[in-house]
């Protein structure tokens, strides 16, 4: 975002206003998809380094033929931009498309398919493949090359101080998320509550990470388990969201208390890990003596919070493992059907409003191992998933967004319907193959499930 320079120091009301300005009339609501994927070398399945003829830099350079503009940091190309979309790198070279804000799932799926075709065209030429899984199925932390991005150096040094799996989150996970707008503070509150309560249901439906270092890890979504031991200051289910009085101010107060990672000055990252944004607002940071934050600093700080639903000037649904093209589209349909139809959003809230607050975190942890077999408030996640999919389907049907005048958005839910009806997640199917025709050879996942 372009920085907004005020003629006075930031005050708390400015932080709140930054969040509140996200409110939009319904006709301006859009959907944004973000999805990550692992690259691997076709010759040995190893994660690619940044440099080299089969490296991540070569991938980025190759994509420029499709109209992407390089973005550099410290002399390294670390991202691409095209219109309102971008391709960015996670710390271990995971490739992420941050899609443009689009009107419907048809456009989202077209954008996703186009991106994956472009990636494959370049990857085929340089000996790489890409795959959507929630957790790296083979390689250890020390096997993963590190990308040359300044903020990641700071995070890598800080993460082990706060949890045992933070480096795994950075280097060995991939996710898909849906970004959604809200109409008002009250609408944001209800969407946030519905999204948080249902996030473990989405986590179960999209579970796709049962392998670690070549063997089953005991989880259906090890990616989701990683987030339970990454950094308690900035992750989790945010119980305060369900309490009376929640709104923009309450989230700003929460964000203000989360320790910082960095500030960016003159194109470089200043290590402020563990420092207080409140102290920054008072000009009390020794690393930046007398300096006070800008709204860009606040926006950057908000990106370093990682709860299961995150508020910026829109809401991010963050609970799903990466997967194939079809499930990238399915996640966008799942949340859009629930959140962009008033009746569907109300029905979803009715489904979860009586769940005790203390059950949310327990459910978040239970689904990592049990998936659809987990239980909340006396009901199986499988049964709840069926109800939620029905709510989403009716919401999509009422939206009545047709492709070529014939097909609405409900078809994108079909793969999730099969998962919910069968009770078998993608992770369950992978484990069946591992113990069956793969004969314990995890490398088969690259051969059979690459894009």
Considering only CA atoms, which of 422, 371, 420 is closest in space to residue 391? 420
- Nearest of 49, 41, 165, 36 to residue 443 by alpha carbon: 41
What is the model's pLDDT at position 272? 98
Task: Output the CA–CA distances (angstroms, integers) from residue 136 to 260, 288, 429, in the order listed.
Answer: 28, 38, 17
Q: Of 151, 169, 166, which Cα lies nearest the Cα of 262?
A: 151
* Sign of the dihedral defined by the CA atoms of residues 411, 415, 418, 419, in that order: negative
pLDDT of 1 higher than 70: no
- For residues 352 and 197, give the distance between their C-alpha atoms in angstroms, rounded to a whole number: 7
Q: Is the pTM of this model over 0.95?
A: yes
User: pLDDT by residue (tens digit) across 26-46?
Assistant: 999 999 999 999 999 999 999
Q: Which of 38-52, 274-288, 394-408 has the lowest mean pLDDT?
A: 394-408
**Domains of the chain, each with CATH number or no CATH:** 12-258+305-449 (3.30.590.20)
- For strands 262-265 and 309-311, give the pairing: unpaired
In this prediction, residue 4 carries a pLDDT of 64
48 contacts 145 by C-beta, under 8 angstroms = yes
Q: pLDDT confidence of 235, banded at 50, 70, 90?
A: very high
Query: What's the pLDDT score for residue 203?
Result: 98
Confidence label for 3 from pLDDT (cuts 50, 70 and 90): low
* Per-residue model confidence as pLDDT tens digits over 133-189: 999 999 999 999 999 999 999 999 999 999 999 999 999 999 999 999 999 999 999
328 and 110 in contact (C-beta within 8 Å)? no
Cα–Cα distance list, 172 to 25, 76, 140, 183, 227 (Å): 39, 22, 8, 36, 12
**d(Cα 277, Cα 300) in Å, to the nearest integer?**
11
Residue-wise pLDDT tens digits, 257-269: 999 999 999 999 9
Q: Alpha-carbon distance 37 to 43, whole Å?
A: 18
* CB-side neighbour CA atoms (13 Å) of 156: 18
Mean pLDDT score of the chain, rounded to an integer? Answer: 97
Rounded to whole angstroms, the Cα distance separating 388 from 382 reads 10
């Amino acid at each position: 975002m372009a920085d907004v320079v005020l003629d006075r120091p930031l005050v708390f009301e400015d932080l709140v206003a930054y969040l509140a300005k996200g409110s939009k009339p319904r006709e301006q609501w859009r959907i944004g998809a973000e999805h990550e994927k692992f690259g691997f070398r076709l010759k040995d399945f190893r994660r690619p380094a940044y440099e080299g003829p089969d490296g991540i830099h070569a991938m980025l350079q190759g994509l420029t033929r499709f109209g992407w503009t390089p973005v550099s940091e410290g002399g390294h190309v670390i991202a691409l931009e095209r219109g309102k979309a971008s391709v960015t790198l996670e710390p271990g070279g995971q490739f992420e498309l941050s899609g443009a804000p689009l009107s419907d799932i048809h456009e989202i799926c077209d954008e996703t398919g186009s991106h994956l075709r472009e990636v494959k065209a370049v990857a085929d030429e340089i000996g790489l493949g890409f795959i959507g899984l929630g957790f790296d199925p083979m390689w250890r932390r020390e096997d993963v090359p590190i990308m040359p991005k300044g903020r990641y150096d700071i995070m890598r040094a800080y993460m082990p101080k706060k949890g045992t799996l933070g480096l795994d989150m950075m280097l060995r996970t991939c996710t898909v998320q849906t970004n959604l707008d809200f109409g008002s503070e009250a609408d944001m509150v209800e969407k946030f509550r519905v999204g948080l309560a249902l996030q473990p249901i989405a986590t179960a439906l999209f579970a796709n990470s049962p392998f670690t270092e070549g063997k089953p890890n005991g989880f259906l979504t090890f990616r989701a388990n990683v987030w339970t031991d990454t950094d308690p200051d900035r992750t989790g289910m945010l119980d305060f969201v369900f309490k009376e009085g929640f709104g923009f101010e309450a989230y700003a107060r929460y964000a203000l208390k989360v320790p910082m990672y960095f500030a960016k000055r003159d194109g470089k990252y200043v290590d402020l890990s563990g420092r207080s944004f409140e102290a920054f607002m008072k000009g009390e940071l020794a690393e930046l003596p007398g300096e006070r934050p800008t709204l860009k600093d606040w926006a950057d700080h908000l990106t370093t919070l990682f709860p299961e639903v995150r508020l910026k000037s829109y809401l991010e649904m963050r609970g799903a493992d990466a997967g194939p093209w079809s499930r990238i589209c399915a996640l966008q349909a799942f949340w859009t059907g629930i959140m962009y139809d008033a009746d569907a959003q109300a029905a979803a809230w009715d489904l979860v409003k009586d769940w005790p607050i203390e059950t949310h975190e327990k459910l978040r942890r239970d689904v990592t191992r049990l998936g659809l077999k987990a239980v909340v408030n006396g009901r199986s996640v499988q049964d709840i998933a069926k109800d939620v999919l029905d709510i989403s389907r009716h919401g999509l049907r009422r939206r009545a967004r047709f492709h070529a005048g014939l097909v609405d958005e409900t078809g994108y839910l079909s793969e999730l319907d099969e998962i919910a009806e069968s009770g078998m997640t993608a992770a369950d199917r992978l484990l069946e193959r591992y113990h069956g025709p793969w004969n314990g050879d995890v490398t088969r996942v690259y051969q059979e499930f690459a894009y």
